[in-house]
Amino acid sequence: MQNSNLPFLVWYRAMFLMSTTKKGFSAKEMQRQLGLKRYEPVWAMVHKLRKAMGDRDASYTLEGMIEMDEGYFTIESSEVEQKKGKRGRGAAGKQNVAVMAESTQLEDPRTGNKSSQVRYFKAKVLQSHQSNEINETIEESLDEKSIVLTDKSTSYVDIADYVEMHVMEKSSEESTKETLKWVHIFIRNAKRNLLGNYHKIKGKYLQAYLNEFVYKLNRRYFGEKLFDRLIITAINSN
């Protein structure tokens, strides 16, 4: 909230709106809700709040059993990129994102059936498909005693150097439903949320929108207290 020309009351109203809806607001819709004439200060405000959310979640690491995979999110591409027409990894209009989910394994004592519950998530926009960037993401996001479950991508070959154990499973429909269940649910829901609310997102801003989505998802049981927590997060942010 520092170095802003907007009154504190406007910030509080914006935080209230952001914390009371699952879907989120575009800056244009936020401007309309707040009744402000100028778009630019509102855009700057909501992005500062999204950065604060990301900084807060970055102060925590996931631990225990971790699912990890990559999702490819639609972003706005330039005319030059569109003409190149590249497909697959690194395709124009697609940005890869590392998604991690902290899950707890459960077993029904009566039937012996196993299931899992999810606690927290992390999502990090990647600039490449190189293993060194994956390793950096693992090192900064996960506790070193974690057990990580992934598919057999060659980008994941060194993960075991940074955690207690790395289990690789061949990617299949079954692994998507079971082993990597929660990361794929996250990817589907995040894509739907971002495309539905913001339509076209520039790659350099994708992390900011993911910050908001993850922050609210990790606090999905806070209810009305989320507003108070967001105020504290914003005050403590640099």
Q: How do the pLDDT tens digits run along the chain, 238 residues long?
A: 666 789 999 999 999 999 998 888 899 999 999 999 999 999 999 999 999 999 999 999 999 999 999 999 999 875 435 545 555 555 668 999 999 999 887 656 676 666 678 999 999 999 988 999 999 999 999 999 999 999 998 899 899 999 999 999 887 766 666 789 999 999 999 999 998 888 789 999 999 999 999 999 999 999 999 999 999 999 998 6
Domain span at 24:
8-58+203-236
Q: Which residues are CB-neighbours of 214 under 8 A, at least 6 positions away?
A: 53, 54, 57, 121, 122, 123
pLDDT at 83 (0 to 100): 46
Question: Does 178 share its domain with 217?
Answer: no
Are residues 112 and 41 part of one domain? no
Cα–Cα nearest to 226, from 236, 173, 103, 234? 234
Residues 40 and 100 both lie in one domain: no
The predicted model scores a pTM of 0.89
For 104-107, the CB contacts below 8 A with 24+ separation are: 104/64, 104/65, 105/65
- Structural domain tally of the chain? 2
Specify if 1 maps to a domain.
no
The CA-based dihedral angle spanning residues 221, 63, 125, 206, taken in that order and rounded to the nearest 10 degrees = 10
CA–CA gap between residue 147 and residue 164 (Å, rounded): 6
